[in-house]
A and B are shown apart, each in its own frame.
Chain A
Amino acid sequence: MIPALTIENLSKEYTGGFRALKGISLEVQQGDFFALLGPNGAGKSTTIGIICSLVSKTSGRVAVYGTDIDVDFAGAKKNIGIVPQEFNFNMFEKALDIVVNQAGYYGIPPLLAHKRAEKYLRKLGLWDKRNVSGRMLSGGMKRRLMIARALVHEPRLLILDEPTAGVDIEMRRSMWDFLKELNEDGTTIILTTHYLEEAEALCRNIAIITNGEIVEHSSVRDLLRRLHREVFIFDCVDPLPEAIEIEGFSVHRVDDNTLEVEVKKGQHINEVFARFNETGIRISSMRNRANRLEEMFVNLVEGAA
């Protein structure tokens, strides 16, 4: 099957000599939910900019559903929907006009454009706001409007650059549900995000980019499997003794009632509970210290630095 996105040896050197991308290669399969992660300035937005023609590449090859952007950029663009990081619509235009106009730029006739605009504005809960100008919408609504605009020509590949930045938790969850549904219906999705919890919850495959280079390209599951340790936080019912040790585990007493326990690869959390029972420590609740993917991300990015 032809990949949804193929990137080969992609480089970008900006005027002034800054090399934002140093020959990256990447493949995203059809139907995938793919995360492109990296710290600020790593090259994520440059990569996305090149795919959708807002940034000119220095060298390398990009193909969308087999269509090389150097050969038929218009053909490739038809398959791409882009939701940028910054709001980039005319704030004085009405929400409906913004979406309908975008359809027009893809050659979709007005009648069909209006039907599609209604479909996506309804799905994203914006139909009631269709006659409201962009500047009057809340931050979350503006983000959803950009998603509706990106979907109006029904692209096979949807690229979202930090789609939930600045969006409240409830809205973020509902956007996740919408994106999952879209992906289940066959749209390939590429997501950049700073919320690693988001990548872990949504994406099947992942690439980590730092300093213009891909340092990891695998499935989320494989990546997590390679984690060598995990730290759990236990809230204890009774005050803990000042010096506490649990045989076989590394522990850290955070305060009187909180204990951190490191569980290494091959160890089981049941063993921790067995030790607690032996020493009479009663547990009221427990949680992960950090997002697992976040830990891996920090290791990879720091390792590459």
Chain B
Amino acid sequence: MTLQEQLVALMTILRKEIKRYLRIWMQTLLPSAITMSLYFVIFGSLIGSRIGEMGGFTYMQFVVPGLIMMAIVTNSYSNVVSSFFGSKFSHSVEELLVSPTPNYIILLGYVIGGVSRGLLVAIIVFIVSLFFTGLHIHNLFVVVVIVLMTSVLFALAGFINAVYANNFDDISIIPTFVLTPLIYLGGVFYSMDLLPEFWANVSKLNPLVYVVNAFRYGVLGVSDVSLTIAFGMIAGFTLIAWFYSMHLLNAGTRLRQ
């Protein structure tokens, strides 16, 4: 395929992905807006007002970056895992497999689709957060890069989950039993300073700690972890996930007989 033909194929996958989640917006876009609004009301306004300051900011301001990042992570992941598994389940993935579209374009199409949903939900949640608190971005570059890298990483993770999944239970196990606990223990609602030293060190094994803190640095200018380590960790995991996903596609794992 020429470069132009590959671009057409990429845009086709992307258009299809965006159409899919916009068509079912009540399942894909709305829940995050509602859930986050509840978080803002309960943790930010009601409970947060009694907690006082955290990391030098009001509790509401402190939790907003973590909550936005939570929306990005879950939406990027779930978009790819449900879309790719759905196409595997209905065998419509064969439309792509029989075509000359290269595997990296297939992967890129699904990943950008997941990223676009993650970003769209992030914008929605950000707008909702403005009703509760004022935010100004401390470092736009860090915000943009961390958001993009994180959504790419979790879109890839969703892809890997979809390849291995045999049924619909398999696509909800990882988000429920792995992703959600890691997010909640990733410093969305608290600063690492509040933890005893032992648990603070254990927390540093959680990749979500780096994602949440790097993004919090971009928005508020404060972080519990080194920004360099955070960037390095996310970039490293992203590269591993990309090459592993490509290996799965090239080998036809669970896709070709």
Identify the A interface with B (CB < 8 A): 14, 49, 52-56, 73-75, 77-78, 80, 82, 84, 86-93, 97, 101-102, 104-110, 149
Contact = CB atoms under 8 A, between A and B. Distances in A.
A91 B95 CA distance: 13
Given A107-B1, A107-B6, A82 B98 contact: yes
A57 to B, nearest CB: 10
Q: Which of A77, A86, A107 has the most CB of B within 10 A?
A: A107
B218 to A, nearest CB: 36
B96 interface: yes
B87 interface: yes
Contacts of B16: 93, 97, 101
Given A89-B92, A106-B9, 19 more contacts: A49-B257, A54-B98, A56-B252, A74-B102, A82-B98, A84-B91, A84-B94, A88-B94, A88-B95, A90-B86, A93-B16, A104-B15, A105-B99, A106-B5, A106-B99, A106-B100, A106-B101, A107-B4, A110-B8
Contacts of B257: 14, 49, 54-56
7 contacts: A52-B98, A82-B98, A89-B90, A102-B99, A105-B9, A105-B13, A105-B95
A55 B94 CA distance: 11
A107 B97 contact: no
Interface in B1-42: 1-2, 4-6, 8-9, 11-13, 15-16, 19, 23
B91 A105 contact: no
Contacts of B50: none
B100 A88 contact: no
Contacts of A92: 23
B256 interface: yes
A109 B8 CA distance: 6
Given A74-B102, A105-B101, A89 B95 contact: yes
A74 B92 contact: no
Contact of B100 (A78, A93, A101): A78
Contacts of A53: 97-98, 256
Contacts of A89: 90, 92, 95
Given A49-B257, A54-B257, A104 B91 contact: no
Shortest 5 CB-CB contacts between residues of A and residues of B: A107-B5, A104-B12, A105-B99, A74-B100, A88-B91
A101 B12 contact: yes
B194 to A, nearest CB: 47
B191 to A, nearest CB: 45
Q: Which of A52, A56, A86, A106 has the most CB of B within 10 A?
A: A106
Contacts of B12: 101, 104-105
Contacts of B94: 54, 84, 88
A78 B90 CA distance: 23
A107 B256 contact: no
A166 B102 CA distance: 34
